[in-house]
């Protein structure tokens, strides 16, 4: 069974731009969660989608948004990029909403210059 | 590779020795506790979990201990190998409404040959 895939793996953007990251969950998994990982703050929860609905949201500004499609693939969008948005963005999939057995993708490394 | 190990405490052990990685959590309502391993360039990988009604669980070469009285979690790795070198995260989750994984800061395990 294929694992969680994320595209692109690396991205360089300029302040003020917007970016869209994509995540394909493990086949059969309907929940996708997104996390931001930085050296200073560690892994922080952004949001979770299950059956195309946002089920939970972390403490991030409204510039961070996401969505989920009927095939469970998910995208997250960051608008008006700031230097502090540079991070590794990880998505994780699980079978159930709020499940503790989450399987992570390799992440997208976003650098904002 | 990803520089996820910056600003993290480091545990250095000799190959073949046992390793003990400790973690504190804050949510007394959490009902599952999980250890993840993250190698350079990869997303976190599930190692072992323990439910809150248990105090010990063993896997292959790994043991997790849970002390709810002091909100402490530890991961013991027997006969540590070079392939165990990675960043280790503990996480906890309350699988009720708005459940989400909350990650600890992470510890870098370095295995000396």
Q: Give pLDDT tens digits for A71-107.
A: 999 999 999 999 999 999 999 999 988 778 899 999 9
φ and ψ at A85, to 5 degrees?
Answer: -85, -5
Nearest residue of chain A to residue B44 (CA atoms): A104
* The pLDDT of residue A1 is above 70: no
Q: Is A107 in contact with B43 (Cβ distance < 8 A)? A: yes
Nearest residue of chain B to residue A46 (CA atoms): B100
Task: Between A22 and B4, name the one with better pLDDT.
Answer: A22
List pLDDT tens digits, range B14-61: 999 999 999 999 999 999 999 999 999 899 999 999 999 999 999 999
Nearest residue of chain B to residue A40 (CA atoms): B7
Task: Give CA–CA dist A42/A87, Å, rounded.
Answer: 10
* The pLDDT of residue B88 is above 90: yes
Secondary structure of residue A96 in the 3-state scheme: coil
A99 touches chain B (CB under 8 A): yes
Query: Average model confidence (pLDDT) for chain A?
Result: 95
Listed in sequence order, the residues at least 6 apart from B112 whose beta carbon sits closer than 8 Å to its beta carbon are: B12, B13, B14, B15
Torsion of CA A106, B47, A93, A27, to 10 degrees: 90
With cut-offs at 50, 70 and 90, classify the pLDDT of residue B3. Answer: very low
Tokens linked to A13: 């953007």
Q: Is A106 in contact with B41 (Cβ distance < 8 A)? A: yes
What local confidence, expressed as pLDDT, does residue B6 receive? 43
Task: Give CA–CA dist A36/B9, Å, rounded.
Answer: 20
| CA angle (A27, B1, A73) in 5-degree steps | 20
* The pLDDT of residue B4 is above 70: no
């Amino acid at each position: 069974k294929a694992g969680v895939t994320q595209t692109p793996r690396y991205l360089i953007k300029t302040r003020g731009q917007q970016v869209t990251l994509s995540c394909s969950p493990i086949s059969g998994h309907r929940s996708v969660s997104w996390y931001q990982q930085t050296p200073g703050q560690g892994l922080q929860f952004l949001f979770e989608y299950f059956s195309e609905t946002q089920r939970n949201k972390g403490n991030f500004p409204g510039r961070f948004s996401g969505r989920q499609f009927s095939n469970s693939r998910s995208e997250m969008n960051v608008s008006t990029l700031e230097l502090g948005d540079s991070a590794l963005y990880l998505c994780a999939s699980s079978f159930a909403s709020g499940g503790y057995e989450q399987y992570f993708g390799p992440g997208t490394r976003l650098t904002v210059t | 590779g990803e520089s996820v190990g910056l600003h993290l405490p480091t545990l250095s052990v000799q190959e073949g020795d046992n390793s003990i990685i400790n973690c504190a959590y804050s949510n007394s309502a959490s009902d599952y506790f999980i250890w993840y391993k993250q190698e350079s360039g990869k997303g976190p990988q599930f190692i072992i979990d323990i439910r809150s009604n248990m105090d010990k669980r063993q896997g292959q070469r790994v043991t997790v201990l849970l002390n709810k009285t002091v909100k402490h979690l530890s991961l013991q790795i027997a006969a540590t190998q070079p392939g165990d070198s990675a960043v280790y995260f503990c996480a906890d989750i309350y699988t009720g409404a708005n459940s989400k994984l909350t990650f600890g800061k992470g510890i870098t395990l370095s295995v000396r040959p």
